Amino acid sequence: MQLNINNVDHQESRILLWSQRNIENFIFNSCLFEFEDIINDVDVADLISPPQYKFIGKITKKFVKKTTQYCQIAAYLNPYFQPVYLEREYDIFLTILDFSDNLSSINLLKNRRKKCQFSVCYLIEIWHKDLPKLKNFIEFFQDFDLICLGHSEIVNDVQKIIDRPCIYLSPGVNAVKFCPDLAKSDRSIDLVTLGRRSEIVHGALLELAEQKNFFYYYDYISGAKQRNNCHQEHRTLIANLLKNSRYFIANYAKINQLQETHGQREIGYRFFEGAAAGCVLLGCSPDNVAFKHYFDWDNAIIPIDFDEYNIVKIIAELDSQPELLKQIQTDNVVNSLLKHDWVYRWEQILRKLGMSITPGIEQRKHQLQELAIAYSKR
C-alpha cells in the first residue's frame, strides 16, 4: 500500500489525526472535519487522511458492515490489504467516526498501539436499539484508552459493553467562523431551515413567503447522500446563511423517526450552529440533562411543536418584541463563544487523558473570550 504517511509528519507533532475526510466525505460530516481542522490549528498535530477505498476495498467494507455483527473477526479486515507502519511515536491517536461500522481504515495501521501512547475514538451516532447488532463493532475499540460518544444517553450502555473509559462529548462549532459581524445588525433572511423538517411548518412558511415580504430559505434537495471534497466551503456557506438569518428551526436528532430512536433524544448539531450565528432558535429540544447543561440560558430555544400549526402567529408575536429578539441573539452568540467552540471539546479530551494544554489552545480561548466581551457590549 503506497501511502506516504511518514512523509507528512513533523518531529514535534504529538497528535495523529486519522481523518475519514477522503472516505466518508458526506456533506453531513463537514462539521466533524471542522473539528479536526481546529485541533490541527491549536495543537501540534499530523492530519492524515487515508485514500478512498478502491473497488475491492469498497466490497470489503460492505462485507465488514454486513458480517461483523455475526463474526467479530470481520471487523479487523483491512480494505487496503497491505499494512502501513508508523515510524515515529505520538502521544495521541484520534479518529472521528460518524458511525461505528466505518472503522475499517484503522486496520491500515499495524503498529498504532506500539507507537501511540493513547488511542481515542469519537463515535458520533449510536442508538439504543442498534446496540445488539453493533456490539461486535463496539468491542473493536477495546484497545482504545478513551471512547468519546456523541450521544449522551448511550454512554453507560457502551461502557458496559466495552469496559473502557467512555464520556459524552457534546457537538461543537467553529464559534469564530459562525460569530456574526459586530458592525452589522440587520439580517436579510427571515428564517432558515436545514435538513429534516415538518411539512406542516414548511407549507405555512412557503405560504407566508408567497404572501408577504418574508425570505424563507430551505433545502430543496436532500443532502443525505451528497459528497463534498471541500468541507471548509460548505461550513462557510452554512455560517454565512445563519449569520444573516433572524430565525432558525432546530429539533432534536431524528425527531420524526421514532422507529429508529425508540424515544432516545439527542442534541442535534443545528442547535450549536444556529446559536453561534445568533439566530433565534425555534423547535423541539431533547429536554434532557445534556441539553439543559449546554443550553442553560434564558430563551436558548423558543419551544414549538414539530408540526406547529401556529408558526406564522408565533413569529409575528416574536417580531413585535424587537428588544427581546436582540437579547436572545446576543445571549446565543456570547454563550456559544464561551461554551461551544470545538476547542473546548478538544480541551475536555486532553484533560481526561491528563495531557497538557498547548499555547494554541489558550490563544484560541482568549480570542473567543474577547469576542464574547465585544459582542455582549454591542
Binning pLDDT at 50, 70 and 90, where does residue 13 land?
very high
pTM check: above 0.75: yes
- Return the higher-pLDDT residue of 284 and 9: 284
Residues 31 and 43: their CA atoms lie apart, in Å, by: 18
Is 141 found in the same domain as 195? no
The grid coordinates listed for 81 are 490489504
Domain termination residue (choose one: 128, 146, 168): 168
Residues 197 and 284: their CA atoms lie apart, in Å, by: 12
pLDDT exceeds cutoff 80 at 309? yes
Number of domains in the chain: 2
Is 124 found in the same domain as 189? no
Residue 374 lies in a domain: no
Is 154 found in the same domain as 183? no
* CB-based contact 191:249 (threshold 8 Å): yes
- Average pLDDT of 157-166? 95
- Average pLDDT of 222-246? 91
Residue 345 lies in a domain: no
Residues 195 and 239: their CA atoms lie apart, in Å, by: 15
What is the structure's pLDDT at 109? 94
* CB-based contact 121:148 (threshold 8 Å): yes
Residue 359 lies in a domain: no
Residues 260 and 258: their CA atoms lie apart, in Å, by: 5
- The owner of cell 443525505 is 224
What is the structure's pLDDT at 2? 43
Helix 199-211 vs helix 311-319: crossing angle, to nearest 10:
60
- Average pLDDT of 171-199? 95
Residue 11 lies in a domain: yes
Is 150 found in the same domain as 185? no
- Phi/psi for 256 (5° steps) reads -105, 25
What is the structure's pLDDT at 3? 53
CATH number of the domain encompassing residue 156: 3.40.50
User: What type of residue is 156?
Assistant: N
- Average pLDDT of 181-190? 91
Domain termination residue (choose one: 153, 168, 183): 168
The grid coordinates listed for 306 are 414539530
Is 224 found in the same domain as 324? yes
* CB-based contact 79:20 (threshold 8 Å): no
Is 199 found in the same domain as 253? yes
- Average pLDDT of 256-270? 93
Is 251 found in the same domain as 109? no
Residue 289 lies in a domain: yes
pLDDT digits (tens, 9 = 90+) for 64-94: 999 999 999 999 999 999 999 999 999 999 9
pLDDT exceeds cutoff 90 at 126? yes
Residue 280 lies in a domain: yes
Is 194 found in the same domain as 63? no
pLDDT digits (tens, 9 = 90+) for 217-229: 999 887 777 888 8
What is the structure's pLDDT at 7? 57
List strands edge to edge, sheet with 189-193.
216-218, 189-193, 245-249, 280-283, 302-303
What is the structure's pLDDT at 1? 43
- Phi/psi for 280 (5° steps) reads -85, 120
Express as a percent the part of the chain with pLDDT over 90. Answer: 90
* Phi-psi label, residue 287: left if phi above 0, alpha if psi -120 to 50, beta otherwise: left
What is the structure's pLDDT at 6? 56
Residue 278 lies in a domain: yes
pLDDT exceeds cutoff 60 at 4? no
For 108, counting Cβ atoms within 10 Å of its Cβ (0-12 exposed, 13-18 middle, 19+ buried), the class is: buried
Residue 207 lies in a domain: yes
Domain extent at residue 44: 5-168
The half-sphere exposure of 202 on its side-chain side, counting CA atoms within 13 A, is: 11
Q: Which of 131, 124, 136 is nearest to 66 (CA)?
A: 136
Q: Which of 100, 97, 96, 98 is nearest to 69 (CA)?
A: 100
- Average pLDDT of 147-153? 97
Is 186 found in the same domain as 114? no
Is 114 found in the same domain as 186? no
Is 65 found in the same domain as 102? yes
List strands edge to edge, sheet with 90-99.
45-48, 15-18, 90-99, 116-125, 146-149, 166-168
Binning pLDDT at 50, 70 and 90, where does residue 9 land?
low
CATH number of the domain encompassing residue 313: 3.40.50.2000
Is 132 found in the same domain as 192? no
Spell out the SS3 assignment of the chain: CCCCHHHCCCCCCCEEEECCCCCCCEHHHHHHHHHHHHHHHHCCEEEECCCCCCHHHHHHHHHHHHHCCCCHHHHHCCCCCCCECCCCCEEEEEEEEEECCCCHHHHHECCHHHHEEEEEEEEEECCHHHHHHHHHHHHHHHHCCEEEECCHHHHHHHHHHHCCCEEECCCCECHHHHCCCCCCCCCCEEEEECCCCCHHHHHHHHHHHHHCCCCEEECCCCCCCCECCCHHHHHHHHHHHHHCEEEEECCCCCCCCHHHHCCCCCCCHHHHHHHHCCCEEEECCCCCHHHHHHCCCCCCCEECCCCCCCHHHHHHHHHCCHHHHHHHHHHHHHHHHHHCEHHHHHHHHHHHHCCCCCHHHHHHHHHHHHHHHHHHCC
The grid coordinates listed for 153 are 444517553
Binning pLDDT at 50, 70 and 90, where does residue 378 land?
confident
